[in-house]
Chain A
Amino acid sequence: MTTSAAPASAATSPGTLRRAADAPVEPLLSALKVRKSYGGVEVLKGISLAVNPGQVMCLLGPSGSGKSTFLRCINHLERIDGGRISVNGELVGYAQRRDRIFEMNPREVARQRRGIGMVFQRFNLFPHMTALENITAAPIGVRRISKQKAKERGLELLDRVGLANLAQSYPAQLSGGQQQRVAIARALAMDPKLLLFDEPTSALDPELVGDVLDVMRTLAADGMTMVVVTHEIGFARGAADVVVFMDGGVVVETGPPAVVLDNPQSARTKAFLDSVM
């Protein structure tokens, strides 16, 4: 009766996620020309990045450069206006059927977020739960893991971040550094494939920063895929596989830390690094 879209054209239509046949490794996170505006002001002007499994990527840049916004787009806390973000080969926040893109419902988005952990600048622990309950709430309630198993795993994770003795403490009874390490354990409890860090040490006293960075270095060494927005140049130099310098909503420079941090090609990157170091 009416003409329907030819199925053959679907594979080649522009929105389709390309599965590169020649690449040996499929990137875990790939962003393609991501755009995002707030009330007419474009804060992300076409960000294209890719992170392979096991890689650590550090995002550097002045405040307002869009690095935190980009990070929040990766787990759909912010919706993007243009471009594509996919994690593990799956579009984030949208579903693609044939050549059309559909908005996901909140339950599907929640399911997707289980594979993407996030650590916040202000920790955002649940204040009415103990450290252990903070970690086990989602595995018990969302993953439907038995209470006993979740508790064992929670204690194991607390031990891993060096806080086994504080399982029964409430967040208000912990220092900032301890809270942030509980937050990391909480994110790890869902066994995410990708961990996002949004300036994890910016709200900490200088002497507490080291403990959190140590935990992050261990995670990186264990092969966790991480995207870290940070001002800790030392961490980026030691732990990152890729360093990205962003400014004004665009990627200015990207490459291994030895290149971007020690031999920056762009004048903007140079000026920024001079001011922080």
Chain B
Amino acid sequence: MNNKNKSMIVIILVLVIALITLSVAFAALSATLKINFGNVNQTVQTWNVGFDTTGSPKAATASGSSATGRSCGAATITATTVTIANTELSKPDDACRWDLVIKNSGTINAKITGITATNPTGTGVSCTGSGAQIVCGNITYTLAKNTGGSTLLSTSDTIPATTGNTLNVYLIAKYTSSTPAAEAKTQQNASFKITVGQN
């Protein structure tokens, strides 16, 4: 039995040597080139762009020579629309300004694709203009990128998904006539709606 085991062990040793020899010969006649890919990640895209509704309804910052004949309604904000409640402006330089933010909380770069104004209601109100500015009697409503209202929000404006993903906009209602109103007139429900798309 011992001799048998010894023979088996010898045979195994011979086979192992043969295996090693074969491997060495194989390696000598071939070259293995290795390509390894690191982590391949796939991230689901999210779309979330619109007015920041935090703090809605929002109070305005009023300006002008005095508060007489001036009252600023609150602005009700949804992701797409901002609507102003009863607002009365009756003398030169009276103004109400609502500070808003358009925010991109998703992962896709966005841009403004449309701005639609809805005329306010009120006694004898008729409006001209469209887009980011309408003139309704003595009151001009503007959706602007600066507090002075001179730079209108436009369809070329972008809101990136990464750094700088907010756009400050200002809804300004201003009395634009050079003479005070004969009587106080209240306008309400002027609104601006924005549409956004992928940039």
A joins B in a complex = no
Chain A positions within 8 Å of B, measured between CB atoms, are: none
